[in-house]
Structure 1
Amino acid sequence: MNRRLVCLALPCALMASTPLQPAFAEGVDDWPSRPVRIIVPYAAGGGSDALGRLVAKQLSETFKQPFVVENRAGAAGTIGSGAVARAEPDGYTLVVSGIGSHVVAPLLNDVGFDPISDFTHIAFLGGPPTVLVVHPNQPYKNIDEFVAYARARPSSISWGSPGQGTHGSMIGEAFSAAAKIKMVAVNYKGGNPAMTDLLAGHIPSAFMSFGTATPYIRSGKLRGLAITSTQRAAGFPDLPTFTELGYPALTGTTWFSLSGPPGMPPALVERLNAEVRRALKAPEIVAEMQRQNMETQDMDVAAFNRYVRSEIEHWKPFIKPSSP
């Protein structure tokens, strides 16, 4: 073969043998040109599902393309999340991420993905705070009395949570450490059984989702002592925050967020972040989040990514990895 032809053919052969890398084939302004799938890695009806559907509805109206919610539950949110970690980074497959699937689960077990490097974290959504509630037949009526009682009687107070690794469980452990008290943790398999035992007086206290506890605090069936929100909850002026009681580290929510596969185009991520933040200010979403006692924070992409990293570091000391 002519030497010149060989030289010309070689680059073509190399190109043909090189695997094509995933690429963002359309301009950011043209995205999306077809439906976008948002995977909720939990069963329908929960907080992540509710937030995911609220935001999906707003984004569908903004972008004039369907944002379709798909529930893919299992393994504490890691099955659906893992599927998104392996998806194409073209913006057409997203996931409702959060503290459960991207902070707690990876610290507890080997989930098959890294919560930072295997995702593009796009925007913060929000979630409900945790509240310390006690049965009204208990003698302590505020945090100071609760702590004094626990210190005088080590291991005499048991406290329930919706389960190991939930926000309630982590807040309970963090509170015990901060207050320097010894209590007995009782981790249930969900919020409902924990609430049932608390209302029946089988356990004296619990760290529960504020949304779950709200009706019982209103009716007087439970007494709220402190909440992890940044400010006092609307409609509950007598319920103090942990921060104002001297426990500033006990602030936060069972938060949810929007993430995608690794390697999404930065310009697309910025655009999605801006539209999600705009959506969260829509009157109907604001009203629904207030109804469900959820709160949010306005974060750009950089701030949200710092937040995810800080949450992992913050809760690491309170999560014990499962045995192999």
Structure 2
Amino acid sequence: MDDFYEFMDYVEDEGYIRMPRNIIRDMENPLEKYNNNELLKRYRFSRETIQHILLNLVYPAEPFIDQRGLPICPITKLCVALRFYASASIQRVIGDTGSMSQTTVHRIIQEVSENLARNLRQYVKFPDRNGMNNNRNLFFEIGGFPGVSGCVDGTHIEIKNPGGENAEVFRNRKGWMSLNIQVIAGPRCEILDIVIRWPGSAHDSRIFNNSAVRLRFEQELLTGLLLGDSAYQQTHYLFTPALNPATRAQNLYINAHIRTRNVVERTFGIWKSRFRCLATCLQYKLRNVVRIIAATAVLHNIAILRGEQHVQEDFVDRVVDGPPVAVIPARENAIRAAFIQRHFNI
């Protein structure tokens, strides 16, 4: 052994170049195994964003005391959940790729979803006053509709039959079980507000009328206008399309309304195509379904905030026909007519 060290000293003294040391990568760690493009296709996020989510949201202080029981490292847990959100693969298939049981994958998805859902109000919220003014300017650039703070609509996410006496209230107009999720979208297709508790049979207008965001607009804690389709009731802050337009101003209003409100439809498309689990039937208990939906809403806004590339894939959303057109009282109809006359009578 002494001869070996003497030889190494001789090599260094003589200026010989050492061979580079081989680095053995951990191939079980997806961040080591895949490049950024491959990570985006499989997990919808770049390496830097996955590390950000891991360190700041899911496992900010994961203890590593010992190796008893062959514990799964936090980065593997996070990537298992992200793979499920992105691909909606069967748990057993995801487990086979990582040498895990189906039960372990189920427990990981539940754990990560719960940790992400706890950050819902941190990432899914209306901006401050300056941010609201900026949003109104961006909305105006999209469709020429003044004063818009957000666009509201509902989307259905399929679930398994929850069973019990009240199971049928989850059956929507198309005949399948779902949750009707209310979303208010911003101009960058970010989610500003989300309601995840109503069954598929609930009408969009009923969900909005019972929501906290409606109360905040009523009390003027939130300012500006919301745009909704004809299923919603016209108010002084929520504007709906003008049916059977007869004047040029009404046609301009409808065109601006359609172009601007299309933001919420694009939001649903990006959200569900980025996280394909939302476009399939979620085979979980209702509590876990709510956590998964909330977790993907958080991840969606993080992706927009950090400028993550959206992987374009073929996607067809299952659209549920809206409820009958809401009857507009004379006072609300007059409010809309005055707004059209003031802003679109060019």
Q: TM-score, normalised by structure 2?
A: 0.21
Q: TM-score, normalised by structure 1?
A: 0.22
If asked which structure has higher relative contact order (CA below 8 Å, sep 6+), I would say 1
The structure in which a higher percent of residues are helix is 2
Bigger CA radius of gyration: 2
The structure in which a higher percent of residues are strand is 1
